[in-house]
A and B are shown apart, each in its own frame.
Chain A
Amino acid sequence: MSKAPFDPATQAAVVVFIGLAFLVGRTLPWSAPGEEPAAAARATAVEAKAPPQTPAAPQQAKTSQSPPAAPIAQPAAFTPQPETSIPDDDFGKAIRFGESIFQDTKTNAPGYVGNDLRCANCHLDRGRLPNSAPLWAAYVLYPAYRSKNEHVNTFAERLQGCFRFSMNGKAPPLGDPVLVALESYAYFLARGAPTGVKLAGQGYPALKKPESFDFGRGAEVYAQKCAICHGPEGQGQKSASATVFPPLWGPASYNWGAGMAVISNAAAFIKSNMPLGQGGSLSDQEAWDVAAFLDGHERPQDPRFAQTVEATRAKFHDTPMSAYGTTVNGVLLGASSPPSGPAPSR
């Protein structure tokens, strides 16, 4: 304190200014770089980026404002529009088309889907359910800078990422009717929500990282609580030709680049939403263990594959939250992944 202090009035103004800037900063996804994963990437955790240098879970736990998971979804501060207010015009048609793509993706967006999943598998209640990465909460957080691809992404570009990674497919080109319809649907759900605000119920509520998580313990949880629907080999189950219970690993599931392949995201989704109709019933530890089990299995290759498994890990998976490029249960994950993208014959 060798310099003369500012007069009290200036001091107060500076404090207020800094305080305001801080508040604004915290509510915007693209500001404080260290917070980027907490805001934008987790926003739509299905394809959220692998966290950068630090493990994301503790940080997410600190910044998470979401209510604790409970068997019944907590009422969110924001409620999306009811179906009945979809307008009866051409825009309404696009909204409805978007909803039908969301519900039955392969049928309504053929050519862009390379697995047996539907958007609604990970975004329950047609993208409406709080704490299940609802569309309305994601929509208002874009455009946003994402370190996954190191530039500012529009919402449409974010949707492209879902097709490329979570759907193990092919990104529809910008302006494609599929993207226009999905964006219209998300806009419709978000109508009336404040822009640029992380709403209660957004993403999947992050879970505090445990001391450890374990593939073997996860296998037991899986056998007891998950296999009855998703099958003993994670292959899912069908009724006639329709997939009813989604495959969780193997060739018909999400690929290594998907956000759900990040253990912390899978743990958060599972804790809030699984078993179906009994969300919140697993302990945090069970959710982490079983997430490590799912994401410790082979699945379609990361479409950003960079020559070798080691290089791909170094570039995109260098975090304890990804098992890609590590050896789990005797398998070097990534070394014999099925190819990414839709099979040519489909």
Chain B
Amino acid sequence: MRNGLGSPCGRLLMSAPATSQARGGAAHGLCAFARLLPAALIAAAVLTSPVRGQDGGRSIAEGGSGGGAPACSSCHGQQGEGQPDSGFPRLSGLDRGYLTHQLDSFASGGRKNEIMGPIASALTPEERSAVAAFYAGLSAAGAQTKPSSQSVSAGGQLARLGEWSNGVPPCISCHGPTGAGVGGVFPALAGQNATYIANQLNAWRNGERANDPMGLMAAVAKRLTERQIEEVAAFFETLTPTRPGATP
């Protein structure tokens, strides 16, 4: 476990390193904002206008929505590259169907998160799909990958071979041989930041995330040890993100 398991806002604060005080502060502000969101929502509802297509998606990403959702880029980065130190995920180049499903899950509560729950609820279904399309259209290259370290090779072993004696199939048998993801259901993991990956695996273990089809991912995550989570998260962070459609 990299960060505390408690509230994601707390998680943000705890994980903000000294060098990024300003960012941690900004995140804190946004957390406070998120708590006030229902009120903001009502106030802003009148101003909401329907958003269509990629342009609509871009304007939400960069400037927030009329319904009160803040600019996504404030946390997910200008190019959707995420913020590894804070565990904000990369969104750029992830599959459109997958991103839409996640935003819908945050809104419905199938995936519980104090920050993203209110933000996704502030978006209309149309806006969710527009902003998903926008991020899906960005190049995945914005993500930073880290050089390999020691724990990475153990993580790589788990990713490639699984641990069948404990019922864990290889991660790549669902997420693809290069971690580039498969179709709209199995997300890319290559180049995603390790803090975020570990947080998700823990979220499945403790039931905060229960939106995966057929419980496919929960069945895997619940069999992993904390150490395996650290190692496999570190491994995927070192991989270069590629689009599943692109030939490597």
Contacts and interface: CB of A to CB of B under 8 A. Distances in A.
A278 B248 contact: no
Given A238-B182, A277-B216, A73 B176 contact: no
B248 A277 contact: no
A2 interface: no
Interface string A242-282: 10110000000000000000000000000000011111000
Contacts of A10: none
A126 B246 CA distance: 28
A276 B174 contact: yes
Contact of A240 (B164, B167, B220, B248): B248
B219 interface: yes
A252 B42 CA distance: 55
B164 A228 contact: no
B247 interface: yes
Given A240-B248, A277-B220, A278-B214, A128 B178 contact: no
B214 A275 contact: yes
A125 B214 contact: no
Contacts of A128: 164
Given A228-B185, A240-B245, A277 B177 contact: no
A276 B162 CA distance: 12
Contact of A71 (B167, B186, B242, B248): B167
A241 interface: yes
Interface residues of A, number: 25
Given A72-B167, A73-B164, A128-B164, A240 B178 contact: yes
B214 A73 contact: no
Nearest to B217: A277
A125 to B, nearest CB: 4
Interface string B213-248: 111100110000000000000000000001011111
Interface string A121-148: 0001110110000000000000000000
A247 to B, nearest CB: 14
A242 B180 CA distance: 11
A237 interface: yes
Given A125-B162, A126-B161, A228-B213, A239 B178 contact: yes
B64 interface: no
Contacts of A241: 247
Interface of B: 161-162, 164-169, 172-174, 176-178, 180-183, 185-186, 213-216, 219-220, 242, 244-248
7 residue pairs, one from A and one from B, having the closest CB atoms: A239-B176, A125-B164, A72-B167, A239-B244, A239-B182, A277-B219, A277-B169
15 contacts: A124-B169, A125-B161, A237-B182, A237-B183, A240-B178, A240-B180, A240-B246, A242-B176, A244-B172, A275-B216, A276-B174, A276-B216, A277-B219, A277-B220, A278-B215
